[in-house]
Every structure is written in C-alpha cells, then in structure tokens.
Amino acid sequence: MKLYAQEQHSDWTRQLVLSADSCIVSQITWVEMCAALALKGRTSQLTHVEIDAARQRLRLEWPGYIQLGLDKLLVSAAGELALTFGLRAYDSLQLASAQRAHSQTGNKLVFACFDKQLSAAAAALGINTRFD
C-alpha cells in the first residue's frame, strides 16, 4: 500500500523498490491491496479519484513484480507459521512467501513489513526486515 498511497515510510518503500533488482510479492498481495484500497475509501482516507489512480497504477505495475504463487507446500508452511507465531491467515501466507523468497535469494531479500508481529516473526526466521 505504501507504494500506492502516501503513508508513513512510503518514501523509504519507493526508494527500496526503485533501487532493487526485482520486487517479489505473494499473489495474495493483489487481494490485500484491493481490500486496503476499499478500506481507505470507506474511511475517507483517499478520494474515489485517488483510489482509481492507485488501482490503475497497481494494474500497470503488477506484471513487473515477481509473483510467488500459492501451492500446497506454501499453504502448509503458512499454517505452521500461523501456529508458531500466532499470525493471521494472510500474514502467515505473506511470511511463508517471504521465507520461500529468502531461501531463493539469501541475504539480498528485504521483507518490507511494517506490522510489528509479522516483522518479529520474519526476523526470528532470519529474514531481513530492517529499514531506515
């Protein structure tokens, strides 16, 4: 969301994505983004024009992200992470996706996460979550 609506840490997130070789997202991020945009509309944090602009940018930029699909192994891992760290369902899927990406990229991965519980769980798994 920080790429599509001005929030705390939006500038840092934009800079991180622009400087990265690639940006990896879980496919469920699409659903989370649409839900977050809808919430911002319901709570009058964004106007309908701003939501439409953000949605259009997301549609244009989405194919440029490396999208990690959901499969049986990822869903199973997410379930274990939910039990281990007491995470919500989508947070568990995001963390399982980050864990898979981390195993493929090593220490190059930065998990751009601003939820304290999810960030702590990622750090416990050895995934870099630091930001400036």
- Domains of the chain in start order, with CATH, are 10-124 (3.40.50.1010)
Bridge-partner residues for 36, per DSSP?
Answer: none
Q: Counting Cβ atoms within 10 Å, is residue 86 exposed (0-12), middle (13-18) or buried (19+)? A: exposed
Within 8 A by CB and 6+ apart from 15, the residues are none
The pLDDT, as a whole number, for residue 69 is 95
3 contacts 13 by C-beta, under 8 angstroms: yes
pLDDT in tens, 19-37: 888 999 999 999 999 999 9
Quick: pLDDT tens for 70-126. Answer: 999 999 999 999 999 999 999 999 999 999 999 988 778 889 888 999 999 999 999
Record the tokens describing residue 26, joined without a space: 């879980």
> pTM for the whole thing?
0.89
